[in-house]
């Protein structure tokens, strides 16, 4: 029987399926239960372990262009058509699908499409946000390569994941409909950046700056004073959420943003010229660590993790406690 997306999307569901999460976590929060599928280890062995690159990513399959003959001797041919491969056309697919790994037992019945685009999107992207990967619901397509290990350099425990998800979901439910959509988009973009779909660091920097500014937009009414200039945004956000403050680093980030947006260069150089490469890498990486703490503080409040130093490239303990 032909698959009907309209029927599928509008089914009333009591559970959802997603993947591929490389950690076989089991978790319960706010009436939701997340646990691995029964054949998790088999799927991991047959698909992930077999095809994962040594760099930690699962890449799309190779595709190629093909020519098919549908008319011959003035007669229309019927499938199956013979496909002739076009030489030198092989390349990685733009999108691909991954096996599923986990089940979400829902706290009530939902329309599948409404769940996936709203609270389901928040849950899925929050889990990916914590584990430094990209996750998708079953039958959805994945864009680009997918991390099969975290590149966030976090030391994370299931107890702290549970604390985060419980507090974050309560915060999400209290947001306006517009801000629910904004935070869902911000989480998606953060995970997209974590997945290193963008290889060029000046593009990664601009995306991270967009994420920071998106967070500023969500909470702008609560900020005192409301930042009027670019150089005020980072210090104001850091002060509001009790994040580590480094004015020198904030100035570097803001100056880099102004260089790119207004002058299309970095210190009057090509961003990949000489020492600019290393400087750009470290500034971008610092902003990413700042953003992760900023989003966490917005969703669950102050914690030992959110007030930790984001300027140093090292493994951090994702500690939701407050000492």
Whether residue 4 is predicted with pLDDT greater than 70 in this model: the reply is: no
| pLDDT tens digits, 192-229 | 887 666 677 788 889 999 999 999 999 987 787 778 78
DSSP alpha helix (H) spans, 198-246: 201-219, 230-240
pLDDT of residue 1: 43
Of 11, 215, 32, 14, nearest to 123 by C-alpha is 32
Band of pLDDT at residue 175, cut at 50, 70 and 90:
very high
* pLDDT tens, position by position, 146-167: 999 888 889 999 999 999 999 9
Q: Which has the closest alpha carbon to 193: 134, 264, 148?
A: 134
Give the lowest-confidence range in 72-86, 126-140, 253-267, 291-305.
72-86
Give me the DSSP letters along 278-306: HHHHHHHHHHHHHHHHHHHHHHH---TTT
**pLDDT(174) > 60:** yes
In the chain, domain spans = 61-92, 198-317
Q: What is the pLDDT of residue 85?
A: 87
In the predicted model, what is the mean pLDDT of the chain?
89
The pTM score is: 0.91
């Amino acid at each position: 029987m032909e698959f009907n997306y309209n029927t599928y999307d509008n089914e009333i569901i009591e559970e959802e399926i997603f993947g591929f999460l490389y950690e076989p976590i089991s978790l319960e929060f706010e009436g939701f239960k997340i646990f691995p599928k029964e054949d998790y280890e088999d799927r991991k062995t047959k698909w992930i372990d077999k095809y994962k690159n040594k760099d930690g990513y699962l890449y799309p399959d190779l595709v190629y262009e093909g020519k098919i003959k549908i008319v011959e001797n003035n007669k229309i041919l019927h499938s199956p058509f013979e496909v002739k491969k076009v030489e030198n056309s092989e390349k990685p697919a733009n999108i691909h699908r991954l096996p599923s790994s986990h089940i979400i037992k829902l706290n009530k019945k939902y329309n599948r499409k409404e769940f996936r685009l709203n609270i389901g999107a928040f849950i899925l992207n929050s889990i990916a946000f914590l584990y430094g990967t990209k996750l998708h619901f079953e039958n959805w397509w994945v864009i680009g390569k997918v991390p099969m290990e975290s590149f966030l350099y976090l030391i994370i425990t299931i107890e702290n994941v549970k604390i985060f998800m419980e507090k974050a979901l309560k915060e999400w439910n209290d947001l306006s409909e517009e801000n629910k959509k904004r935070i869902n988009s911000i989480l998606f973009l953060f995970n997209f950046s974590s997945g290193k779909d963008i290889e060029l660091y000046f593009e990664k920097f601009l995306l991270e700056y967009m994420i920071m500014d998106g967070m500023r937009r969500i909470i702008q009414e609560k900020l005192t004073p409301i930042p009027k200039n670019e150089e005020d945004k980072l210090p104001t956000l850091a002060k509001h959420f009790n994040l580590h403050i480094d004015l020198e680093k904030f100035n570097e980030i803001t100056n880099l943003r102004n260089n790119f947006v207004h002058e299309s260069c970095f210190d009057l150089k090509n961003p990949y010229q000489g020492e600019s490469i290393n400087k750009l890498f470290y500034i971008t990486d610092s902003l990413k660590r700042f953003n992760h703490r900023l989003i966490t503080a917005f969703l669950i409040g102050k914690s030992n993790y959110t007030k930790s130093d984001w300027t140093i490239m090292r493994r951090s303990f994702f500690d939701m406690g407050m000492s």
